[in-house]
Amino acid sequence: MTLKAKGPSTVYSSEIKSSDPKVAPAFSKIPIVKLLEGQEIELVATARLGHGREHAKFCPALAIYRGDPELIATKESNVKEVVEKLSDFIVKKGSSLEIKDITKWNEAHENICEMNGVDVISSKEDFIFTVESWGQLSTKEIVMKAIDIFDSKLDEFEGLVKKLK
């Protein structure tokens, strides 16, 4: 891959030229450098396919999980304050509190609950998985590939267990 540009201008990732038509920047509008009058840049780069187990720079996404939160209110809890501050996120049902939409729930909400005496317990059985793609692959592609890799590792494990018999 090569790049050659002269100032004054802003050089964008779309200006990188590749000898392989299948290889291109994931995003074309990323500014690389601002060149002033009389400045220029020339570079040669090598792109290579890698895997996340080799180095974190090859990971296509941020993937995290956490236990599904459960809100526990006691007699000492200031439920009224929590409901007022988080009315868009929780609802009071009888003596308990329920999260309206778990996809909008975050740690800041948990802090408000805990400051007002409402305990937030993370489930050890139910989990929330979040996958945020960097853009090279869609989240669906990332999850499906992860499942394929996990499935092949299970097959490999099964083969090793059978050899023990």
User: Encoding tokens for residue 19?
Assistant: 């000898």
Number of other CB atoms surrounding residue 113 within 10 Å: 26
Q: How confident is the model at residue 165 (pLDDT cuts 50, 70, 90)?
A: confident
pTM attached to this predicted model: 0.61
Measuring CA to CA, how many Å separate 68 from each of 45, 75, 85, 124? Answer: 44, 23, 21, 8
Q: What is the pLDDT of residues 118-146, one digit of tens each?
A: 999 999 999 999 999 988 889 999 999 99
Q: What is the pLDDT of residues 63-100, one digit of tens each?
A: 999 999 999 988 888 888 999 999 999 998 887 899 99
Q: Residue 11, class by beta-carbon neighbours within 10 Å (0-12 exposed, 13-18 middle, 19+ buried)?
A: buried
